[in-house]
Amino acid sequence: MDNTNVDNFTKEIISGSKLELSNPDFNKTLMDRIKTQNQKRIIYSNIKLYSFLFLTIDIAIIALLNLTGIRFSDIALKISFINRGFENFYSNPEQLTSIYFAVLFTVILMIKLFSRTGYSYLKTHEG
Amino acid sequence: MDNLYIQKVLNGDYTGFSYFVDKYKDMAYSIAFRIVNNSEDAEEIVQDSFVKSFKSLNKFRQDSKFSTWFYRIVVNNSLSKVKRRKFDSGNIDLENVSDIAIEEIESTYNHLTQTDQQKYINIALNQLNYEDSLLLTLYYLNENSLDEISEITEIKNENLKMKIHRARQKMYIVLEKELKSEIKNLL
């Protein structure tokens, strides 16, 4: 028998060796695992995104504080005073109040910018 | 078509992956079974290979077929399993290979029922070592090219033809022996 015929016969007989998965739950079990992996992937990418955002905001805050001449140690000092029972809360009320107002202003500004109301407000007052 | 579903999955639609599961599960199972020779292990390997390919789909460069890349994962996972269990591969003597009468095997084989044909070919493949059995499955059953088989098995392309040829001879030695005992039983 020549090589081509042997090849054809081999192909023919080996086609009978094909195996099939007999477990009827195979696809469901596997797709459940894939779903879990997909959720993990989404969570992981969200963590990366939020970490990046928080880091950027932190850097921006540090830069802002440096520009305005407010030191971190000042804020930390104020917070520790507050924690000790407000006894020194008014030690330098101007500085502390300005920080609180700055934070409040930023929060309001962000709500204005990112909420639907804020967006509509900006659209209405455009021009 | 594969590339379309790859994009679908990469864009976040994980349900698109079921296309690959339906298309490749049986062949992956055949490959895994030829190496580990155990249906439960083979099924577990196929599951793990699909999960692994899903996790690393973004690393798939698409310069080869998805099937080639995926079967490579199946082979790697199967070989890891075999190493852990210290699978002992059988040795078949190739000394008397010129005596094989393939016409005779063909004639006997064609007289068998389809169920018996499947039974004997699976017996023959199970008696080969996993490399021979895998090469025959990829080349004759899945009709992979030599380049693809080389990529899946990491066997050098120039050695493949000879290895496949030897694997085929070994299979016929086993098949001849099995069929002779079948004829004896019939008589």
B99/B95 Cα distance (integer angstroms): 9
A109/B51 Cα distance (integer angstroms): 45
Q: Hey, how many other C-beta atoms are within 10 angstroms of the C-beta on B82?
A: 17
Amino acid at B162: M
Domains of chain B: 2-85 (1.10.1740.10), 97-186 (1.10.10.10)
Confidence at residue B87, expressed as pLDDT on a 0 to 100 scale: 41
Q: Is this prediction's ipTM beyond 0.95?
A: no
Domain boundaries, chain A: 25-69, 85-127
pLDDT tens digits along A30-70: 999 999 888 888 877 777 777 777 778 877 877 777 777 76
Name the residue with higher pLDDT: A118 or B98.
Answer: B98
Name the residue with higher pLDDT: A95 or A66.
Answer: A66
- Closest alpha carbon to A10 in B149, B169, B97: B169
Chain B residues in contact with A25 (beta carbon < 8 A): none
B177/B127 Cα distance (integer angstroms): 12
Confidence at residue A122, expressed as pLDDT on a 0 to 100 scale: 46
Of B102, B118, B168, the CB nearest to A17: B118
Burial of B71 (0-12, 13-18, 19+ CB in 10 A): buried
Of B47, B122, B168, the CB nearest to A10: B168
Looking at chain A, which residue has its C-alpha nearest residue B167? A10
- Closest alpha carbon to B39 in B95, B88, B78, B86: B78
pLDDT level of residue A82 (50, 70, 90 thresholds): low
| Least Cα separation, residue B65 to chain A (angstroms) | 21
Which range has the worst mean pLDDT, A61-65, B75-79, B129-133? A61-65
Confidence at residue B20, expressed as pLDDT on a 0 to 100 scale: 93
Question: CA A8, A9, A11 angle in degrees (round to 5)?
Answer: 65
DSSP symbols for A47-99: HHHHHHHHHHHHHHHHHHHHHHT--HHHHHHHHHHHHTTSTTTTSSHHHHHHH
Contact A33/B at CB under 8 A: yes
Confidence at residue B122, expressed as pLDDT on a 0 to 100 scale: 85
Which range has the worst mean pLDDT, A112-126, B52-66, B173-187? A112-126
Burial of B31 (0-12, 13-18, 19+ CB in 10 A): buried
Chain-chain contact of B47 with A26 (C-beta, under 8 angstroms): yes
DSSP symbols for B131-182: HHHHHHIIIIIS---HHHHHHHH---HHHHHHHHHHHHHHHHHHHHHHHHHH
pLDDT tens digits along B146-169: 999 998 988 888 888 889 988 888
Q: What end-to-end distance do the CA atoms of chain B give, in Å?
A: 53
Chain A residues in contact with B51 (beta carbon < 8 A): 30, 33-34, 37
Chain A residues in contact with B55 (beta carbon < 8 A): 37, 41
Chain-chain contact of A26 with B25 (C-beta, under 8 angstroms): yes
Structure tokens at B187: 């008589």
The b-or-e profile of A9-31 (16+ CB within 10 A means b, else e) is bbeebbebbbbebeeeebeeebb
Query: Which of B33, B41, B121 to substitute to test the interface with A, most A CBs within 10 Å?
Result: B121
Confidence at residue A42, expressed as pLDDT on a 0 to 100 scale: 80
| SS3 label, residue B10 | helix
Looking at chain B, which residue has its C-alpha nearest residue A38? B14
* 8-state DSSP, B116: H
CB B117 within 8 A of CB B109: yes
